[in-house]
Amino acid sequence: MVIHEGFENLKLHNPVVTTGIFDGVHRGHRVLLDSLVSKAKKLGGESVVITFSPHPRLVLDKDPGGLSFLSSPDEKINLLEASGVDHLVVIDFTIEFSAVTACDFVKEVLVKRIGTKHLVIGYDHHFGRGGKGDLDTIEQCAGIYGLEVERVEGFNTEAGLVSSSSIRNSLSSGDLDDATLRLGYYYTLSGRVVGGRQIGRTIGFPTANIEPVYHHKLIPCNGVYAVEVSISGNKYAGMLSIGSNPTVNNDPMKRYIEVNILDFNRDIYGERVTLIFKKRLRDELKFENAVKLAEQLKIDRENVVKLFS
């Protein structure tokens, strides 16, 4: 996949185009991307995804600090590349760009800059100023400029229609299984190992404290998880705790991400690790004392071992 920063001086052969944010590049997105790639091959052209950076909500929201997303910019690029797309065009999203109307976007960007003849869009796609460019608007504008528009329906699981917001809701409420089903892959979180309080070491469960590398990456619901831990290309089973650690911590507002890596004994301070969420084991609990906590952690570790065996 060739990555283009902006749309200047593009030289594309019969581009078949789609556009969107693609947060998480989930199963619904991949139905759209499969249609895009298939259409491009059928027409002997190139598949092109147009996306925006930073995320428009980070530019337009009054309080962007509280926003969280399923994928970092780098993760999104990797997921899009895995879908088989030929070109990714990343447009710098600014306040000025947000004022461009849907028809002007079709005319000035899709037609003049990209050279689009075939546009593939999702069932609920909106773009242009205020998100007012819906399917009807797109088709009207496309007709003026000779674009063929293909609409792709959404993807449903047993739990309902797949969307980025539904996945964010599942992760935030603790339904990891539903999130995994909708994503089509295991959710991941990358971070650096930083210094911690070393309380786990005193009860026989030393942990690596993780600081996410992407500030706006969604952190799943508090609780204990079975995870796979990727370090320098190697993978290990791990027991992950997300939360305030109420048994040993008096600050309920402080949130920790700590992983006990099984059968591992190496100093990894400062290293980057990726947590791959396999199973949510239980809610975060407050125990009478550290001894009771350690007893429960032994049970949790046994469950992790069973899962990975």
Task: Please write the tens of the pLDDT for every residue from 66-80.
Answer: 899 999 999 999 999
Mean pLDDT of all residues belonging to the chain:
91
Mean pLDDT, residues 200-210 taken together: 80
- Say how many domains are in the chain: 2
CA distance 292 to 280: 20
Whole-structure pTM value: 0.91
pLDDT digits (tens, 9 = 90+) for 9-35: 888 999 999 999 999 999 999 999 999
Determine the residue type at 150: E
Type of residue at 242? I
- E strand residue ranges, the chain: 2-5, 15-19, 46-53, 87-92, 118-122, 148-152, 156-157, 160-161, 188-194, 208-212, 223-231, 234-243, 256-261, 272-282
CATH number of the domain within which 125 lies:
3.40.50.620
pLDDT at 133: 63
Encode pLDDT of 91-147 as tens digits.
999 999 989 888 888 889 999 999 998 999 887 776 766 666 667 778 888 888 888
Query: Is pLDDT of 183 > 80?
Result: yes
The DSSP call for residue 294 is H
Residue 279 lies in a domain: yes
Altogether, the residues listed in the chain come to a count of 309
Domain ranges, residue 15: 11-160
At residue 132, the pLDDT reads 65
Q: What is the Cα–Cα distance from 42 to 250, expressed in whole angstroms?
A: 62
Residue 150: how many CB atoms within 10 A of its CB? 14
Of 125, 160, 195, the last residue of a domain is 160
Same-domain status, 54 and 147: yes
